[in-house]
Structure 1
């Protein structure tokens, strides 16, 4: 029961990534905000996540897994409710920042808690964690679109209610989690970036996220004829392909062609997909198909990159993950705002061209740093773990 309580909370936490996607245009219209202002919902969320990754280890080794999980859940409940009650775009942006802090505490600790209290071993825990990730990413936009069709406040209040239930379940059912054996410091992830291999992967992911978040955060603005519910279905399809490809397709491609070679191919495909959307940004049918298909490319790349990160540097995996996430979330914070700004100043085509350029530069960084990545195995020796972990 403790495992299922944490897994349920994981699903809700991962919903937060795409939950607001279908209601972005609605928020802009009702609060009289420009696209670049609305995109700050992603920017504040990811910027705080980036900084918080440096302190999640410090917090979890002092409060313990259960204390950190409950702290993260409580923060999400408070700030998602406040976001739903907000009266201006600036207030929502600020409350989304608080939401990002809670999410960082939660997701950085959830897998370790499942492993600690589960009876099926690490492999089974990872499978459950990945299932929660896939379900959250795919269902988040659908739920957001359904509740958003009633009111833009609906998705925020929905998360509040679900996370409150998760908080109670974890508080009551999660027991027997051992205390951490040693404490970490804020400097540990920074020191890990001295390894060129890990820094290369982080910079590549920072640039790659310009493509990822252009699709996720800006696409609702090039589909103006779709309702919040319709946008929810589009990103539901995107999320399903992302989850399925991440869990089932990526390991097979990785074992056959190797981590780096397959990553090169996925980055090329993602850049081409973004360029296609840029060219046909005025054709709603092409945009919808290209966005959904890109979910598969993004899912495969997410798993490949994460596996590579876990093998990239001779440091503990949580430290490597924190260092890598700190760098890549910087790109996640900048990309949505920049896409909104470029779309307003120039045309809806330009954000996708810039996203394609960012992904292409990420490929160049990976190729230039390939000598430092030769030790990354041709097949996965680590079960794929969610990119956000």
Structure 2
């Protein structure tokens, strides 16, 4: 038996984690270049970003189960290899539809990689080293999105948007080599059977729901097609809950949500990342297309958000110990909402100081709220269910991001099109301007129509206003929900653990 080098295992798993987490945000910096070169519409840009997040979230529970059962090292190697291959394919693509399909493929790969990183750490590290290792993992998970933006901004200063995918390839290949050399195999082959029906219901339900939201500006929010799609998606997801309640080996036992702290943490993480990733999608386009910043300057411009997030996250446990977890948690969510309300006032003539005034409370609020929300998910469950808690935390983050990008991009698109006055313009130019701000800028430049560019920038600011107010509303909703769920101290339902333990015991015996 070879000696396990725990430091190397931690470094490799964190690199693999950073590779898939950063990919969720890093491509946002390249959206203006992608729009200009591929002529992607605003809806297609949303799909290029959200195809990754949607598939990632939909397959996360199933991939975690498969990794636990058949081998986490195999899941890491296979997922990273697929991630590298899909990224190579994306570097040679020039059609929006092909990019969307390849980003979905990368989402499949990421779904296998992310849960396998944490499960590898918890299964290979001794108990006395595990807490420190998990804290490093959590720090990497939190910082990777912003670091991805910054790294993409740097490479885009020298190369085209395809360099973002080449960066994915390099990171994934190094992680594959490290996994092959240093990471031991671990698995729990008798843990549980695979709930294929539950996984299929999740993918179909979320797919229909997100598709209907992203396409809503194309067909109208009140159209029969949009409303029917949203209702159908929700019905399928309700069917998933009903199936999981009856299944002896559920991907996720809905009874866990009887535990109020667990429910509060899950809802809070979902809505926080709904607002956060939706904001990143909107603001990267604003900074480059409206303000005219380069990709690197745009990425650097949002760094104060991280500078505020890190100390507030470190401060959150002390505040929770002194005032109770729910107080800093709720204050953090209100700060997120306040920051987004300030940022919603941005327009073509705004100074950087207004952007900074919104980024600081947004970052500080995320740090204050994220720590107690994550702790509520894990602390609410007994030790034997910690893997479930980790999976739910990851799922909440990715699902919130997918829905946030879908809803806020849809609100941005609706606001942009609703404010755009194209009367008197030739039909081809008007159609191009309606598709996206990047296309409007290209059309205005080619025809020397500065009025079109200015008007399109103002229309985009109107869409940004609507989108960020929607994100602020989600943060307020989360604060209210947390306050209501924990209003009596958030005592747990005593029968939840017993019910779940009994079901797991029956699963293991089966």
Aligned 1:271-290 pairs, distance under 5 A: 271-282=337-348, 283-285=350-352, 286-290=354-358
Of 7, 10, 14, 2:14 maps to: 7
* More RCO (CA 8 Å, sep 6+): 1
Instruction: Tell which deviates more after alignment, 320-329 or 310-319.
Output: 320-329
Aligned counterpart for 1:322 among listed residues 391, 406, 410: 391
Q: Name which of 224, 248, 258 aligns with 1:195.
A: 258
State the match for 2:145 in structure 1.
137
Per the TM alignment, residue 229 of structure 1 is displaced from its structure 2 partner at its CA by 1.1
2:325 to 255, 259, 264: 259
Post-superposition CA distance 1:103-157 (Å, at most 9, x none): 2221112123234444661122123323433552332111111112320110111
Which of 70, 74, 80 matches 1:73? 80
Deviation for aligned residue 1:325: 4.2
Q: How many residues align?
A: 374
Structure 1 residue 180 and structure 2 residue 188: aligned?
Answer: yes
For the pair shown, which has the larger CA radius of gyration, 1 or 2?
2
1:20-75 per-residue CA deviation (whole Å, 9 max, x = no partner) reads 12112221222222333212233212211221122133212222221111122112
- Is residue 215 of structure 1 aligned with residue 279 of structure 2? yes
Q: 1:174 and 1:54 mapped to 2: Cα distance?
A: 22
Determine whether 1:360 maps to 2:476. Answer: yes
Aligned partner of 1:62 in structure 2 is 69
Q: 1:123 aligns with which of 123, 131, 134?
A: 131
Report the CA distance shift for 1:68/1:157 in structure 2 as closer, same or farther (over 3 A): same
Q: How do 1:269-348 residues align onto structure 2 when only pairs under 5 Å count?
A: 269-282=335-348, 283-285=350-352, 286-313=354-381, 316-326=385-395, 329-346=398-415, 347=462, 348=464
TM-score between the two structures when normalised by the length of structure 1: 0.87
Question: How far apart in 1 are the matches of 2:131 and 2:395?
Answer: 26
CA contact (8 A) 2:72 2:187 kept: yes
Query: Are residues 114 and 311 of structure 1, via their aligned partners in 2, closer, same or farther at CA, if it must alter by over 3 Å?
Result: closer
Rounded to whole Å, the distance in 2 between the matches of 1:292 and 1:87 is: 37
Shift of 1:260: 1.3
CA separation of 1:113 and 1:329: change in aligned 2, threshold 3 A: closer
2:465 to 349, 362, 366: 349
Distance 1:128 1:29 in 2: 39
Q: 2:105 aligns with which of 93, 98, 103?
A: 98
Per the alignment, residue 206 of structure 2 pairs with none
Distance verdict in 2 for CA 1:303–1:322, change over 3 Å = same
Could you say which residue in structure 2 is the equivalent of 1:227?
Answer: 294
Tell me by how many angstroms 1:160 deviates: 0.6
Please, which of 48, 51, 56 is the counterpart of residue 58 of structure 2?
51
Counterpart for residue 387 of structure 1: none
Q: Within 1, Cα distance between the matches of 2:62 and 2:105? A: 15
Instruction: Choose 148-157 or 2-11, whichever is displaced more.
Output: 2-11
Runs of 4+ in 1 over 4 A off after TM superposition: none
How far residue 163 of structure 1 moved from its aligned partner, in angstroms, is: 0.8
Q: Is the 8 A contact 2:75 2:112 kept in 1?
A: yes
Measured at CA, do residues 48 and 298 of structure 1 come closer, stay the same or move farther in structure 2, by a change above 3 Å?
same
Separation (CA, whole Å) in 2 of partners of 1:211 and 1:135: 17
What SS does the corresponding residue of 2:25 show, helix, strand or coil?
Answer: coil
- Output one character per residue of 1:178-207: Cα deviation in whole Å (capped at 9) or x when no partner: 432742344141435442523443334333
Judged with a 3 Å threshold, the aligned counterparts in structure 2 of structure 1 residues 116 and 41 are, in CA distance, closer, same or farther, namely same
Change (3 A) 1:220 1:69: same
**Alpha-carbon separation, structure 2, partners of 1:195 and 1:82:** 44
- CA distance in 1 between counterparts of 2:340 and 2:293 reads 20
SS at match of 2:169: helix
What CA deviation, in whole Å up to 9, does each residue of 1:192-232 have, x standing for no partner? 54425234433343333332122221111222321111112
Distance 1:183 1:129, change over 3 A: same
